[in-house]
Every structure is written in structure tokens, then in C-alpha cells.
Amino acid sequence: MRFGTIVSIPDRIMRGVAADVLTPTGAVIPATATLEEAEQRMVTLGTSELYVLSADGQLAGILPDYEVLKLRLAGELNRRRVSEVMSAAEPRVVSTTPIAELAVSMRLSCHRRLPVIANGRLIGEVTRRNVLRHLHAAAESSDAQFTTSFRESEARRQSLGPPRFLKGAGKAAASATDRVDGRV
């Protein structure tokens, strides 16, 4: 397999939607806030970006820490509003986006996290770590189920003895061999 190739993952592992793996986020700020307020919120929450909400609670954009740093160094934090420097909140996903689609999207892009929207409102975020954790747990569960099922079927098979068409085949084969060798 070449590096970077996306392999086919069984459907049973890829089941689920964004809402199943999202993390609720408090990393939000109103679009009308000052950049000084945004800087304080980023430092307090220990996050590298804030989701910007419009007055009606809709996701308006994303404020990355590099914009705040740039304006801090220029001495302009207290003069600017978040809405003036935020980036568009694209891409975004809806809560019903399949995990398979999330995994591929995150694999092919540089996004570490994506905002999750339901009814136009931000309900959380999905991170690559969340998706990877889900896929890992599903694969382990699937492997464990297969192993348990295999062991159970082997135990059942052994308790029943050899299949009917093989019963006595060992004796018949031994008798024929003995006859050829002249022992019988």
C-alpha cells in the first residue's frame, strides 16, 4: 500500500454520525466582543481558536489565535472587534454527518477540528482525536466480537465431534492401509 492511501474500512466500524463523537464546546465569543476580551477568553480556556456567534446565536466565524497574536504585537487589541478579524466558519458539519465522511474529510484536509451545527446553532466540535478514538474503539469491539464468535463456534464444533461424514473414516482408512501392508 502506498503512503497516504485511504484503505477501505468495514461499514460496521464506520457507523455513527458527528453527534456521536462531538465534544460540547464553551470556546465561544460574541462577534461584538473586543479582541482583548477574546485574548482573555483564549488564555482562560487554553484554546487556540474561538467560535464566534452572531447576536442570534448562529455560528458567524472562527477567531484563530494567530490573528489575536498579530494584533497584540501591533498594539491594536483594544481597538478592534472580533467580527472585524474572524475567519469564515468553513468547513462545518451538521450533526448527522456520517463518521466515514468526517474521517475522510479530516484526513484530506488540515483541519484538526470542525464545528458541528444542528438547526443552525453550534452544538459542539468534532476533533480528529474524537474520530480516531471512535474508530479505534469500534475496531477493537469488532475484533473482540469476531474473536469471541470464532471461539464459541470452535467450542461448539469440538463438543459435537467430527462431522457425520467423517465418523469412522479413520478406522476405514486404517483398515485399508493395513490390508495393503498385509497386516490384516
88-128 pLDDT per residue, tens: 877 889 999 998 888 888 888 878 889 999 988 899 999 99
Q: Is residue 178 part of a domain?
A: no
Q: Is residue 26 part of a domain?
A: yes
The 8-class DSSP code of residue 141 comes to: H
Q: Is residue 119 part of a domain?
A: yes
**For the domain that residue 85 is a member of, what is the CATH number?**
3.10.580.10
- Which residues of the chain register pLDDT less than 70? 1-14, 142-158, 160-184
Measure Cα distances from 138 to 10, 101, 156 in Å: 10, 16, 27
Q: Is residue 63 part of a domain?
A: yes
* Pairing of β 28-30 and β 49-53: parallel
- Longest alpha-carbon distance in the chain: 108
Q: Is residue 180 part of a domain?
A: no
Q: pTM here?
A: 0.67
Domain residues for 22? 11-134
Contact between 19 and 95 under an 8 Å Cβ cutoff? The reply is: yes
| Beta sheet of 113-118, edge-to-edge order | 93-94, 113-118, 121-127
Q: What is the pLDDT of residue 68?
A: 95
